[in-house]
Amino acid sequence: MFDNSDKERVRESLDIVEVINRTVSLNQRGRDYVGLCPWHEDSRPSLTVNKARQTWRCWVCDKGGDIFSYVMEREGIGFAEALEQLADLAGIQLTRNKQPRTEAGSVDDPRFQRKAMQWVEQQMHHFLMQSPNAKVARDYLENRKINKESIARFNIGFTPDSWQWLTDLAKGTLYPPELLERIGVIKKSEKGRYYDIFRGRVMFPIHDNAGRCIALGGRILPEFTTEQTPKYVNSPESLLFKKSKELYGLDLAMDSIRKDRRVFIMEGYTDVIMANQQGVTNALAVLGTAVGEQHLKRLKGIADQVVLVLDGDEAGQRRTSEVLDLFIRAQVDLQILPLPPDTDPCDFLLNNGADAFRSLMEQAMDALDFRIEMETTGINLLVETHKANAALENILQTLS
């Protein structure tokens, strides 16, 4: 919880016109400012911002409020997150009740941590683009048909196969090893020596709604793989990063999701990147975990329909079974889109294109229909009464 004075301090420090103008192009009309509403197809500016009252309203959507409600509506987040986002924009350190005040510039200062994470992201991207030692990563991305525009759009990076590259790079900068350890990019050994977590990996920055890097995901290159090496490594949870809340690509997809009112949930980083590259710009991915209640809450705030895109293998089907009940009970309009056997979204989009992907949408199934099919496939309902009753019981549990 935050101190009661925080809201007023933030409100007094920011101008609603300047905040909204960061995401919507506003033009002055008399005493007010107007722009195209981000919540509906708008050809005539119907979003009105009143500078004197510091309020906004869309007369078509019948939405409106203050600076906090705008961020909450636009980002699909709660008040606390909106307050934190706006406080960061205003350069205000919030006072958390019953918690000691964090000293500005300390390793536990979230603003300092974000600054350090931004620096790390920049170093990894620059290394990928400029270093001769990153050719192996550039070749890998080229072979995966990820183009330069996508590399820039998602700020993809690379870390060499070194235990000390980032640790050494940070020496002499503002960012001490204790800070880099806090944000999950280096660790300390039992002997007290710091070492890099990400080695020999193509790096995918994970951003929050405001486009700030809060974590990283790394894919090991084949040249550096051993039997013990996991293919993907994500940042550990930290003050900045809670994987049960975040969705990869949300910062870039937000406008498309609002216009289409639909979101595609895919499994991996490259699925989302290839979807964007092929023109499907409302695609997201979960981060090494199943879709959970926090994800669902965020998705319900920005989309009317969620389409779960399944890899064409048994594992994809199993993962879907784990989340179906959650979606159905929450009364979310969930569609299930299975891909052809042994195909993931990245491969399908690369080989067939966005039009074929959209055509495939015609085969998407309602979540409950998909659940019924999963439970009854392979059962002769007229003969195998015991199995049929068990399937019916499972379906009824979902609806209860």
* Tens-digit pLDDT profile for residues 171-230: 999 999 999 999 999 999 999 999 999 999 999 999 998 889 999 999 999 999 988 899
3-state secondary structure of 100: coil
246-256 tens-digit pLDDT = 999 999 998 88
CB 121 within 8 Å of CB 155: yes
Phi–psi pair at 397, nearest 5 degrees:
-60, -35
> Tokens 């491969």 identify what position?
347
CB 244 within 8 Å of CB 326: no
CB 53 within 8 Å of CB 15: no
pLDDT at 1: 58
Estimate the crossing angle of helix 4-13 against helix 79-90, to 10 degrees: 50
CA distance 54 to 67: 7
pLDDT at 187: 96
DSSP bridge partners of 206: 215
Ranges of the chain whose pLDDT falls below 50: 98
Considering only CA atoms, which of 209, 183, 198 is closest in space to residue 116?
183
Quick count: other Cβ atoms within 10 Å of Cβ 79? 13
- Sign of the Cα torsion 308, 311, 315, 317 reads positive
Q: Would you state the structure tokens that stand for residue 7, as one six-digit string?
A: 């809201």
- Sign of the Cα torsion 164, 165, 167, 169 reads positive
383 contacts: CB under 8 Å, gap ≥ 6 = none
CB 54 within 8 Å of CB 35: no
Identity of residue 152? A
pLDDT at 400: 58
- CATH superfamily, domain 110-234, is DNA primase, catalytic core, N-terminal domain (3.90.980.10)
Considering only CA atoms, which of 288, 271, 282 is closest in space to residue 345?
271
What is the secondary structure of 291-303 as a DSSP string? --HHHHHHHHHH-
pLDDT at 316: 60
Phi–psi pair at 333, nearest 5 degrees:
-75, 90
Residue 96 DSSP code: B
- CATH superfamily, domain 4-90, is Zinc finger, CHC2-typedomain (3.90.580.10)
Identity of residue 263? V
Identical topology for domains 110-234 and 250-366: no
Considering only CA atoms, which of 123, 181, 112 is closest in space to residue 155?
123
CA distance 36 to 58: 9
pLDDT at 100: 53
State the Cα angle at 252 between 311 and 174, rounded to 5°.
110
pLDDT at 81: 86
pLDDT at 69: 94
| Domain residue spans of the chain | 4-90, 110-234, 250-366
Strand order in the sheet with 63-65: 27-29, 32-35, 47-50, 55-58, 63-65
CA distance 56 to 37: 11
Instruction: Rounding to the nearest 10 degrees, give the CA dihedral for residues 89, 125, 220, 148.
Output: 110
Question: Top-level CATH class of 250-366?
Answer: alpha beta
Look at strands 283-285 and 262-266 and give their pairing. Answer: parallel
pLDDT at 327: 77
CA distance 201 to 300: 34
